[in-house]
Amino acid sequence: MIGVGKTKQYANVLDRPISKGKQEVSLSAFAFLFSELVQYNQTQVDNIAELERRLEDAGYAVGARVLELLCHREKGNRRETRLLGILSFVHSTVWKVLFGKVADSLEKGTEHEDEYMISEKELLVNRFISVPKDMGTFNCGAFVAGIVRGVLDGAGFPAVVTAHFVPVDGQQRPRTTILIKFAEEVLVREARLG
Amino acid sequence: MAPPPRSGDAIFANVDRVNAELFTLTYGAIVRQLLTDLEEVDEVNKQLDQMGYNIGIRLIDEFLAKSNISTCVDFKETAEVIAKVGFKMFLGVTASVSNWDPEGTTCSIILEDNPLVDFVELPDTCQGLYYCNILSGVVRGALEMVSMKTEITWVRDMLRGDDAFELRLKLLKQVPEEYPYKDDE
C-alpha cells in the first residue's frame, strides 16, 4: 500500500513504489462493480455471443496488465516462455493473486493436442450470478476467459479462450471450465524447443 | 433490543474480501470500455455516476443489514457514518469528514487512500474525466434510499494533481418517509 504522505512526492505513477498487492476490498464491492459491467454491456449488444465477446475484451485488458504486474512483482522481471510454464503461471500465480486461491484443476484436453482446461468449482465472478433461462449458455466467466487470454497473449502464447459451464454429478451448481485452445504457431514453436 | 452498531473495521474484518488489484483493474477496464463506446468524456462521467447510483440503491441494504446502524439524528452523523463505516466496510479504507457549512447541510468527505486509482494516470485526452465518479453515484444512490436527496460533486482529485480526493456532499432535501401501509389497516 502506498503511504499517504509518500504519494505526494511522486508526480508520476511509474515513480511510485509498486504496491505489494496485499490490499483488499469487500467481495460485495467487487460483485456490485462486476454486475454493473455486465448490465452495461447488455445494453450495448443484440445477442449473447456479442455480450460474451465484450466481457472477454474487458477481461483481456485486465489480463494484459496482470501479466506485466505479476512478472515484475512475483517473478523478478522474468516471464515463462514454455507452454507448461505459462499454464501453471496462470493456474497458480495469477489465480492466487486475483482470486485468493490456486485454480481447482489444470488439465490437458483428451481429444485435441492444443487444448487445455482450467476448472473452478465456483468461479468468483459466477458466485452471485444466476443466468436467466432465455440467455441460454451465457457465462460471465467470459470475463475470466478474457483475463486468461490477455495474460497468454501478452506472454507470446496467442490462444482462443472460452468459458463453459460443466455439470458436476451430485452438485446443484455447475463448475466453470476455461477452455484454452492455443494457436498453431505456439505448438510448432513448443515442438521445436523440444 | 437492537444489536449495537458495528464499527467499519469490525465489519470489514468479517466479510469476504477480494484482492484490491482485481477490483482496481476491473474498474479500469470499465472506464476504458466507456471511453471507447461513448467517446465524450462528459458522457462517461454521466454513465459512471449512473452505474454508481445503481450500486448505491442496492448497496444500502447490505450496509444497513451488516452495520446495525439505525436512523442517524442529523446529516452530520450520516456523513460520519458514510466516511467511517461505509467506505471502510466496502473498500477497506476510511475517509474523514470536514468543511461543514454553518447550516450543517454541506460537507466534504475526504479520501486519501482510494483503491480505484492505483496504477491510474489520466492522459491529456481525458482531463475532464472524473475517474472516480462511480463513488459519488454510490453515495447519492444509497442516501436516496434513506430519504435524503443530495448533490455530490468532486472538489479535489488526486488524478488531477490535488493532494486528496474530496467529495462535496450537499443535502438538498429530506423526504419524509412514507409507509406503504396505514396504521389502521
DSSP secondary structure letters along A156-185: T--EEEEEEEE--TT-SSPEEEEEEEE-HH
Residue B11 has pLDDT above 90, yes or no: yes
Q: Would you tell me how many other CB atoms lie within 10 Å of the CB of residue B9?
A: 14
Instruction: Give the length of chain B.
Output: 185
| The pLDDT of residue B179 is above 90 | no
ipTM over 0.85: yes
Q: Which residues contact A27 (CB under 8 A, 6 or more apart)?
A: A124, A127, B15, B16, B17, B18
**Residue B148 belongs to some domain of the structure:** yes
Q: Does B43 fall in a domain?
A: no
Confidence tier at A3 by pLDDT (50, 70, 90): very low
Instruction: With CB atoms and an 8 Å threshold, state whether B12 touches A26.
Output: yes
User: Could you report the per-residue pLDDT of B62-120, keeping only the tens digit for each?
Assistant: 999 999 988 888 999 999 999 999 999 999 999 999 999 999 999 999 998 999 998 99
Residue B17 lies in a domain: no
CB distance B64 to B86 below 8 Å: no
Distance from CA of B118 to the nearest CA of A (A): 8
Measured between alpha carbons, how far is B108 from B101 in angstroms, rounded to an integer? 10
Is B45 at the interface with chain A, CB within 8 A? no
Residues with Cβ within 8 Å of B66's Cβ and at least 6 positions away in sequence, in order, are B6, B11, B15, B89
Q: Which of A19, A23, A41, A151 to probe by mutation at the B interface, max B CB count within 10 Å?
A: A23
What pLDDT does residue B181 have? Answer: 65
Q: Give how far B84 is from chain A: nearest CA, Å.
A: 15
Residue with cell 504496491: A19
pLDDT in tens, B116-129: 998 998 988 898 99
Chain B contact set for A53 (CB, 8 A): none
Between residues A22 and A88, the one the model is more confident about? A88
Does some domain include residue B30? no
A143: nearest CA partner in chain B: B26
Q: Structural domain of residue B110, as residue ranges? A: 67-175
In a domain, B149, yes or no: yes
Q: Best interface-test mutation with A: which of B11, B12, B25, B114 has the largest number of A CBs within 10 A?
A: B25
- Answer whether residue B86 is part of any domain: yes
> Residue B1: inside a domain, yes or no?
no
CATH number of the domain that residue B152 is part of: 3.30.1380.20
Contact B25 A58 (CB under 8 A): no
Compute the distance between CA of residue A98 and CA of residue B185 in angstroms, rounded to an integer.
52
A58: Cβ contacts below 8 Å, ≥ 6 apart? A37, A41, A143, A146, B26, B29, B30, B33
From the CA of B158, how many Å to the nearest CA of chain A?
Answer: 9
Contact between A148 and A61 under an 8 Å Cβ cutoff? The reply is no
Q: pLDDT higher for B181 or A91?
A: A91
Do A36 and B112 count as a contact with CB atoms less than 8 A apart?
no
Hey, are the CB atoms on A21 and B119 less than 8 Å from each other?
no
What pLDDT does residue B183 have? 62
Q: Is B165 on the interface with A (CB under 8 A)?
A: no
What chain B residue is nearest to A9 in terms of C-alpha separation?
B163
| B35 touches A: beta carbon within 8 Å | no
B51 CB within 8 Å of a chain A CB: yes
How many helices (H) and strands (E) in chain A? 7, 5
Residue B23 resides in a domain: no
* Averaged pLDDT, A117-137: 89
Report the CATH fold assignment for A27-193.
Muramoyl-pentapeptide Carboxypeptidase; domain 2 (3.30.1380)
Domain count, chain B: 1
**Which of A23, A27, A62 is closest, CB to CB, to B26?**
A62
